[in-house]
Amino acid sequence: MTNSVSLIGRAVSVQVPATTANLGPGFDTLGLALAKYDQLEVTVRSAPGVFVEVHGVGAGLVPTDESNLVVRAIIHTFEAVGLPMPGLNIVAHNVIPHGRGLGSSGAAIVSGIMAAKGLLEGVVEIDAEMLLVLATEMEGHPDNVAPALFGGLTIAWTTPEGPRHKKLMVHRGVKPLVFVPEQEMSTALARSLQPTSVPHEDAVFNVSRSALLIAALIQSPELLLAATEDKLHQSYRAAAMPETNKLITLLRAAGFAAVVSGAGPSILVLASDPGQRLVAAELVASQSDTPWRALMLAVDMQGATVHPLTAHSTAETAA
């Protein structure tokens, strides 16, 4: 089975979690999967080309042609395994906020790669290492795509042979809370504010906190406040998201382990019990100058999944 015609009628369902990266000191290294999911249905059809239907977040805004990020990820995967791209019908159900630091672009990339993996089941085997390589090639760095692919807390790093990751279980006492604002933040803008070098003492500071953060997340949640201190990236980006910075300062002064989620402007609070999340949500509601949506989420431990769907009728797949 080596051509697109043999795939006609194949259909898969994909689910990918939101993610939060950096977690304070773990810049471009640490990521956490959250139980909020984008879903995708992809069907191979006989007609060439791609038809994309988007529901939920991004409907009417994101491209519905081959420039769509999910489609680009599918194309990238087929090209990587040396097979022609078949005609596709794609239905996306999006709930992960866009441009808020919750891994929406990483989720789109992982959705496409996982869809291609599922469609090629029994034709080409795409293992976990290749999944991470393909996703990192598109995303540019593995800190968001690693937890999106594999779930849980991930440590991601790069080697001359390609990206690598280690998945860790999170202590059951850790309860993530995310505050999502109405405004978006460009990841490219956030990265542009990052200096090319930092003081030696700041680098040492973050090494210590990153090591402590792993211990706090897997064993000792009571250390989360100290473990989420950072001197590498958040202060440099603060001026671009003043309300985020104000609320993080407020939350940390009140004893909450609050950090910028990814590139922002969302705020991640790593609470040590459910009651702490409620108090943090009340504090933000009473002190913020702009609306914030509080999402009390679980840690997703499964990561991205793909399942075959019942083959559609010939009429549907030929649409």
**214: exposed, middle or buried (Cβ count in 10 Å: 0-12, 13-18, 19+):** middle
Q: Is 151 annotated as a binding residue?
A: no
The residue whose two tokens read 């089975």 is: 1
> Is 102 within any annotated ligand binding site?
yes
101 annotated to a ligand binding site = yes
Q: Is 97 annotated as a binding residue?
A: yes
Nearest Cα to 197, choosing from 144, 228, 236?
A: 236
Tell me how long the chain is. 319
98 is in an annotated binding site: yes
End-to-end CA distance of the chain: 23
SS3 category, 269: strand
103 in a labelled binding site: yes
Is residue 261 within 8 Å of 177, Cβ to Cβ?
no
Which ranges in the chain belong to alpha helices (H)? 69-80, 104-119, 128-139, 145-150, 187-192, 200-218, 224-227, 234-237, 242-253, 274-287, 314-317
- Spell 21-53 as b/e; 16+ CB within 10 A means b: bbbbbbbbbbbbbbebbbbbbbbbbeeeebebe
Determine phi and psi for 109, rounding to 5 degrees: -60, -50
Is 104 labeled as ligand-binding?
Answer: yes
Q: Are 165 and 142 in contact (CB under 8 A)?
A: yes
Binding-site members for ATP are 97-107
Which residues fall in the annotated binding site? Answer: 97-107
